Amino acid sequence: MTQTPRGFWPKIVLAWLGVAAVLVVRNWAQITSFQLADPDDVLRLVQVRDLLAGQPWFDLHQYRIDAPAGVATHWSRLVDAPLALVILLLKPFIGQAGAELAAAVIVPLLTLLCAMLLTARIALKLFGERAAYATCLVWIMALAALTQLQPMRIDHHGWQIVAELAAINGLLSSSAKRGGRVIGIALGLGLSISLELLPFAVLFAAVLGLKWLRDPAQRGWLVQMLASLALTSIAAFVLTRGPVFDTHCDTVTPTYLIGFTLAALLVGLIARLERTSPLVIAALLGGAAMLTGAAYLALTPTCLAGPFAALDPLVRQVWYNNVLEGLPATRQDWPNMVQMVVPPLAALVVAALCFLGASNGRRERLRDFALVLAGSLVTALLVARFSAVAAAVATVPLGYAISEWLRRASEMKLAARLLVLPLIMLVLVPGFAAGKLKNHFAPPAADPQGEVPVLGRGCGLPESLPALQALPPATVFAPFEIGPALLRHTQHSVIATNHHRAAPQMGDVIRAYTSEPAKAEAYVRQHKAAYVIACGDLVEARNYAAMEPKGLMAKLLAGQAPAWLEPVALPASAGSLKLWKVRR
């Protein structure tokens, strides 16, 4: 067992303070203007506000989306809880707004602290003290991971990173019983936060299954993992969902709990078999996996095509297929793709080389770690949002590589040192160099079709919001890209936000804005909207106008409002934001 050096953890905390300071400085403009990073973060804040205002713990509806029935979110109270706690503790001293801002800074940085502590422990076990300290240095340049752990990023993705790193710590345990339980508990909590971690749960189960096939004495790893995963998932469901029988396919439901429990029972029974060949064990484990999957699909056949199968085809075409983080890494722009792929790939090469040169005791740990890193990289290639997890895991081998370079630097000639340093930077932040090359050979267009910071200055926000807030609370028909901002800053309701549970309402918004005004009126009145919004700053609005030049959005942007809309005067600070009242 690796002994923790004296003073090790205080040094890691000190390194975290340095990284946190860099992030605060880098995001200072967003912090001082309270500009949250993403619409998901904005809606998360709205959900926490509703909880603190008295909405029941088990009720996850957003009642101001498609009011009055509302839309149920798939998010977990486990993510709301630390935000709500910080706000409750600080509100008496700095007020509601100050407490919310403090929570938006403190909670992501504490999540980062958890991630850095976990990676430091992994590095200590695999490569030693020097590598653990160097891993903290790599974190400053782990851009894909820091994107999810920076101030103002309060959604659940940072906790996904922590869950996988905690599971890797369990994987490096010297005890199958303790290690398997840590893996199961970490992944059970991670799945309760977001079902997106399901591929990683399968990945760890596969790695532990291989341990079993190599050595039957190691079967306890998988048994303990699945039993702990099932029990933790049940406990988390009872704690966060309560007596709600949810049939959605995008969160842990009772049918998932049945599947997890069935898998644990079947693998437990298989583990009781003595003197069975690895081939038979592999067949039995494969059969258990198929039986578990078949049982789940028999209970929820609508989930066969995945959690987004029920999306309106128009919503899928216009919105879902263009959400970059849900697309493969190869669909990202060149600098982002390079940044997502190169550091984890380089880390995998380092881990593989260390595995080949390791002794037997350390060799097994390195092999298991390398398999998890490889699986994380493949997952990131398929779905770009998982590049944050791969980047976090990659900090460990890259930290070791840097520590070795620093150790040998004194033996190198000056020219060699000067050559190696740029190479290290190229591996850690290749997206920077790729971006420079891209700008050199293909300068950006004057009006790039990228994301507009609508939560900051787009559409005249936030200056335009007081004028909207002054109006009596009503339902506003608005592009769903600014829906979360309207929920956060006003008392109005909206038809939809850019979240898939509101897909039917999103379809109505798209159809209304891309239909001729006479037909669009029916959609607006169907939802009892009192106001209609248009804003040329939004990519969404410009896309609607391009899709249908004779549609409602195109007419509104051109200043040709139909007779059933009455213009509402807004201050000059509202910029391109335009508002109309629906005539009775």
Please report which confidence band the pLDDT of residue 55 belongs to, taking 50, 70 and 90 as the band edges.
very high
Q: Residue for token digits 């990676």?
A: 119
pLDDT, residue 420, reads: 78
Domains of the chain, start order: 8-33+74-401 (no CATH), 458-582 (3.40.50.12610)
State yes or no: pLDDT of 462 exceeds 80.
no
- Residues in Cβ contact with 523 at an 8 Å cutoff, skipping those fewer than 6 apart: 508, 509, 511, 512, 515
Instruction: Give 502 or 84, the one with higher predicted confidence.
Output: 84
- Which range (69-78, 348-357, 415-424, 545-554) has the least confidence? 415-424
Q: What is the tens place of the pLDDT at every residue in 4-15? A: 899 999 999 999
Q: What is the tens place of the pLDDT at every residue in 559-576? A: 999 999 999 988 777 778
Distance CA 114, CA 181 (A): 19
Write down the pTM of the prediction.
0.93
Q: Which of 202, 242, 248, 251 is nearest to 226 (CA)?
A: 202
State yes or no: pLDDT of 458 exceeds 90.
no
Arithmetic mean of pLDDT, 423-447: 67
Q: What is the 3-state secondary structure (H, E, C) of 372-396?
A: HHHHHHHHHHHCHHHHHHHHHHHHH
State yes or no: pLDDT of 522 exceeds 60.
yes
pLDDT, residue 437, reads: 58
State yes or no: pLDDT of 442 exceeds 60.
no
Distance CA 132, CA 3 (A): 13
DSSP reduced 3-state for 538: coil
| Most distant pair of Cα atoms in the chain: their distance | 82
Rg of the Cα trace of the chain?
26
State yes or no: pLDDT of 284 exceeds 80.
yes
Question: Would you say 44 and 80 are in contact if contact means Cβ atoms under 8 Å apart?
Answer: yes
Instruction: Give 403 or 322, the one with higher predicted confidence.
Output: 403
pLDDT, residue 374, reads: 98
State yes or no: pLDDT of 191 exceeds 60.
yes
Distance CA 87, CA 103 (A): 6
Give ∠ CA 145-434-148 in degrees, rounded to 5: 15
Q: What is the tens place of the pLDDT at every residue in 200-223? A: 999 999 999 999 999 999 999 999
Residue percentage of the chain with pLDDT more than 70: 95
State yes or no: pLDDT of 308 exceeds 80.
no
pLDDT, residue 1, reads: 55
Question: Would you say 542 and 536 are in contact if contact means Cβ atoms under 8 Å apart?
Answer: yes
**Mean pLDDT score across all residues of the chain:** 91
Q: What is the tens place of the pLDDT at every residue in 20-45? A: 999 999 999 999 999 998 889 999 99
Distance CA 31, CA 103 (A): 11
Distance CA 258, CA 237 (A): 12
Tokens standing for residue 103? 């929570």
Taking the CA atoms of residue 143, residue 147, residue 148 and residue 149 in that order, the dihedral angle to the nearest 10 degrees is 80
Q: What is the tens place of the pLDDT at every residue in 124-180? A: 999 999 999 999 999 999 999 999 999 999 999 999 999 999 999 999 999 999 999
Tokens standing for residue 98? 């100050």
Tokens standing for residue 201? 């749960």
Please report which confidence band the pLDDT of residue 449 belongs to, taking 50, 70 and 90 as the band edges.
very low
